[in-house]
Amino acid sequence: MAHRLKDKPQIWKKTDSENSEYHFLILYNDEIHTFNYVIESLVDICSHSSVQAEQCALITHFKGQCEIKKGIRKDLEPMQTALSKRGLTSVID
């Protein structure tokens, strides 16, 4: 009897277009802004709770960066722009 190859598991990824793939908005640490300023910015711009914003600020401070939001590029770009206007450094990856 011939051996049948098992089907390879499929990995599903949204690929309708580059704009529909999930990305992360990553905040980078700086030595300029206070924790309160960063926390307020994350609450205002990213709709974080105060606890979530505080945790992200601490992670950013100690690790140098933190993934602060996951989503599609078109939703993350305005947040990145708003963070930049407040002097905070972030990228979409």
The full length of the chain comes to 93
Residues 15 and 45: their CA atoms lie apart, in Å, by 27
Domain boundaries, the chain: 20-92
Q: Each residue of 55-79: b (16+ CB within 10 Å) or e?
A: bbbebbeeeeebebbeebbeebeeb
What tens digit of pLDDT does each residue of 1-27 get?
A: 454 445 444 444 444 445 579 999 999
Which pTM value belongs to this model?
A: 0.79
Domain 20-92 part of CATH 3.40.50.1980: no
